[in-house]
Structure 1
């Protein structure tokens, strides 16, 4: 039996720099909520950085969805990635531009790999 992919890191931040000589990732401006002065609000740019492991060899699909109602999520990111080995740690940088929030509150985030949920979390949008 094959194990389910495991999420080792999930960070919301302003950006990620990859050092060209070492390949190391530097997280820039990590944050856990969004402050807005008026609504609807649009956040111009953020990055959802994630590190996965235990992914079987081959091609995989990640989907990240967002919604105020956890039963009515809308996909924001759908992308493929490749795993060379289940032991490999895979860093994925997911850029989000002009994300709109109609009102303040808690917004649910669902992360799935190959249609299997691996994390349900949230981000708070404050007024």
Structure 2
């Protein structure tokens, strides 16, 4: 029976440090909303940190999309990754630069693996 990928962690943060000796991840500056004085507002840099489990062995593709309208999101990240085993916990660090938000609102974030939606969450942008 084939396993179905599961999201163990989803964080929006300022950065992730990976210790070269231990491989441990240190998460810096977790946040869930963005404030802007005027719109459009451009956020210069953020990291979307994602931990997956139960991913079948082999090569896979992750896609992360964003939009005010969840039915027509804009694809921001599409990248390949590999799973050694469904038991492996896979940490994916996704750097986002100069992300523009045209107006205030709750922006939907859609995470897909191999074209299957795993998580729909949101980030609030306010003034």
Using structure 2 for the length normalisation, give the TM-score: 0.99
Q: Which runs of 5+ in 2 are unaligned?
A: none
Equivalence for 1:61: 61
Q: CA deviation at 1:4?
A: 1.2
Once the two structures are TM-superposed, the CA of residue 3 in structure 1 deviates from its matched residue by 2.1
What's 2:19 paired with?
Answer: 19
Q: How many residues align?
A: 127
Matching residue of 2:3:
3
- After the TM superposition, which residues 68-83 of structure 1 pair with which residues of structure 2 at under 5 Å, given as runs? 68-83=68-83
Partner of 2:52: 52
Shift of 1:63: 0.2
Q: What do the CA deviations read for 1:89-112 (whole angstroms, capped 9, x no partner)?
A: 000000000000000011000000
TM-score (norm 1): 0.99
How far 1:49 moved relative to its partner?
0.1
Partner Cα distance (1:32, 1:106) in 2: 11
Q: Which ranges in structure 1 are unaligned for 5 or more consecutive residues?
A: none
Does the 8 A contact of 2:59 with 2:82 survive in 1? yes
Looking at structure 2, the residues matched to 72 and 55 of structure 1 have their Cα atoms a distance apart, in angstroms, of 27
Partner of 1:116: 116
